[in-house]
A and B are shown apart, each in its own frame.
Chain A
Amino acid sequence: MSRLELYSPEGLRVDGRRWNELRRFDCRINTHPQSADGSSYVEQGNTKVICMVSGPKEPSNKSQQNSSGAVIEFNVSIASFSTTNRKKRSKNEKRTIELNTTLERTFEQSIIRKLYPRTTISVNLHVLAQDGGLLAALTNASTLALIDAGISMYDYISGISAGLHDISPLLDLNTLEESGMSFLTIGVVGNSEKLSLLLLEDKIPLDNLEDLLAIAIAGSHRIRDLMDQEVRRHANLRASKLVK
């Protein structure tokens, strides 16, 4: 098997990007105004995610309600056609449950839960296509949909992945790159350098961690700005329709 060149000596990646370039990031909010309280659609390269938020609503299960704040519920469903190999994925796969819990715990801190006692906020995520950076795309889609739903949050949470090829850090990996190197996914709060989410599953040297985090944080700030643009564009659109 010939090894695919993931990062050429000239500094180009498989899809022609430089090391610190993001893939095309496209997002829309309020995509499903009828069926959800808040919705969004995120494309990060070829990874495509739809997110629908409903709530704060009455909990379906009485025992779930919490008098000190809202209960956040995530439900990620990965379509069987989302990868090249069509594969039926069960909802109770360990990986999916881990994704759900990770997202729940991330957003529990950034949503001002105490404003919505005895309610549930449920976030349903549908993965239409996967091409790397899944958790990051899920995080971004959730942030946008929660904003669209008008749920109070302290700040944006923007996610991005970054990998390490030999000693050069690369931003925003696609599937090919993910399978060929160690990478991490982070979720950053607003424009700060605080990480609410951090996931690394493969080996990287301790001494390279700092570089990797630095470009990942820069990338996530860029994502935050792009999301902010879309939210403002949409807000202006709505505001222009208001009768003055």
Chain B
Amino acid sequence: MGREIELSSNESNFIIEGFKSGVRLDGRKLDEIRQPVIRVLPDEYGYVEIEWGNSKLTVRVSAEVVKPFEDRPFEGIFTINTEISPMASPQFEQGRVSDDEILISRLIEKAIRRSNALDLEALCMVAGAKVWYIRADVNVLEFDGGIIDAASFGVMVALQHFRKPDVSIHGSDVIVHSLQEREPVPLSVLHVPICVTFSFFNPSDSEENIKGELNEEISIIDATEKEESLRDGSLVITINKNREIVQLSKNGGLPIDVFVLMDLSKKAYTIAESLSEKIKIFLQKEESERYKKLHLDLLEAGAAR
């Protein structure tokens, strides 16, 4: 990472003292996430804008027909591309990919791609010759912490919102029908992983943390940029609403007691439940509006004739 923000000791004092009293700078509770705002385009599939507090990002899902990998002839290809440019925050440098960015993109990959959130076998058209290549591009527009949570949330919304063109298969020939010709088909999404990031703060010294019995480490959910720059460690829990932990990642940082960890994973579960519900409600509403609009258009076209 380039130069991080320089936090004055005044600010860090306020943040830490606030945590001890259960107060955060933006008025949230310690275990409260920033409620995301989802936006999509009315007449396009697979483009999603997520506003996660002051963090903002876009996800674009696109599809093309390619030849599959030789060792996996029955599977489509799915990649996630995470782009964090200096646009998001001056702390990210142009052209150089920092370790943190690699960790972020690896985590999103693990959470979504490795966990088979997208059914790759359903993307196969002609074995060994033609499969769908689904690509999700994440662009971070504004950075205020919580990128992993926001990006994986965005990718999952975009995958469920996206429709790939319908195809008809004749032998080894594939005809891709345009969106006007035939109703496009949704991707088969097997489950919805939700990432929840916990940040840990140690109010006493590190010796107390390792040797002591107090366990007074403070854990908060969904840290902002300022809180992230102060944290002593973090844990990303990816979980879906079927009570399956998809991925756990605590890359070092403050040691945390197992019982605390179990507690946190239960908190993560309730958050995952509410967020996946939110996605479901949003997509249903969006779908029905789109349907209404389409029918209105058809009616108008009929009336004009």
Contacts and interface: CB of A to CB of B under 8 A. Distances in A.
Interface of A: 94-95, 97-98, 100-110, 112, 154-155, 184, 187, 189-190, 192-207, 209-210, 213-214, 217
Interface string B233-274: 101000100011111111111111111011001100100000
Contacts of B207: 154
B210 A190 contact: yes
A205 B250 CA distance: 18
Interface residues of B, number: 39
A109 B232 contact: yes
Contacts of A192: 210, 255, 257
Given A205-B243, A213-B258, A196 B102 contact: no
A201 B252 contact: no
B206 A109 contact: yes
A197 B256 contact: no
B251 A207 contact: no
Contacts of B265: 206, 209
B252 A189 contact: no
Contacts of A104: 252
A109 B60 CA distance: 39
A110 B105 CA distance: 27
A174 to B, nearest CB: 21
B244 A205 contact: yes
A106 B235 CA distance: 12
Given A154-B206, A189-B255, A198-B261, A97 B102 contact: yes
A202 B207 CA distance: 33
Contact of B245 (A100, A206, A214): A206
A108 B202 CA distance: 14
B210 A101 contact: no
Nearest to A206: B243
A107 to B, nearest CB: 7
A140 to B, nearest CB: 15
Those 4 A-B pairs whose CB atoms lie nearest each other, nearest first: A105-B252, A106-B252, A200-B248, A194-B255
25 contacts: A94-B105, A97-B99, A100-B99, A101-B251, A104-B252, A105-B233, A106-B251, A107-B252, A109-B206, A109-B209, A109-B253, A109-B254, A154-B206, A154-B211, A189-B210, A194-B209, A194-B255, A194-B257, A195-B258, A195-B261, A196-B254, A197-B251, A198-B248, A201-B110, A209-B262
A190 B206 CA distance: 14
Interface of B: 99, 102-103, 105-106, 110, 114-115, 206-207, 209-211, 232-233, 235, 239, 243-259, 261-262, 265-266, 269
Contact of A203 (B105, B206, B244, B249): B244
B71 to A, nearest CB: 12
A68 to B, nearest CB: 13
Nearest to A184: B248
B163 to A, nearest CB: 27
B210 A199 contact: no
Given A98-B106, A199-B249, 6 more contacts: A101-B99, A105-B253, A109-B206, A198-B235, A199-B250, A206-B266
A95 B265 CA distance: 25
B263 to A, nearest CB: 11
B110 A197 contact: no
A206 B239 CA distance: 8
A209 B232 CA distance: 24
B252 A102 contact: yes
A193 B258 contact: yes
A148 B250 CA distance: 26
A244 to B, nearest CB: 33
B256 A194 contact: yes
Contacts of B258: 193-195, 213-214, 217
A206 B267 CA distance: 12
B206 A199 contact: no
A100 B157 CA distance: 32
Contacts of A95: 106
A108 B246 CA distance: 27
A207 to B, nearest CB: 7
A100 B254 CA distance: 17
Contacts of A105: 233, 251-253
A213 B261 contact: yes
Given A109-B206, A189-B210, A206 B252 contact: no
A203 B113 CA distance: 12
A95 B105 CA distance: 11
Which of A94, A97, A109, A192 has the most chain B CB within a 10 Å cutoff?
A109
A94 B102 contact: yes
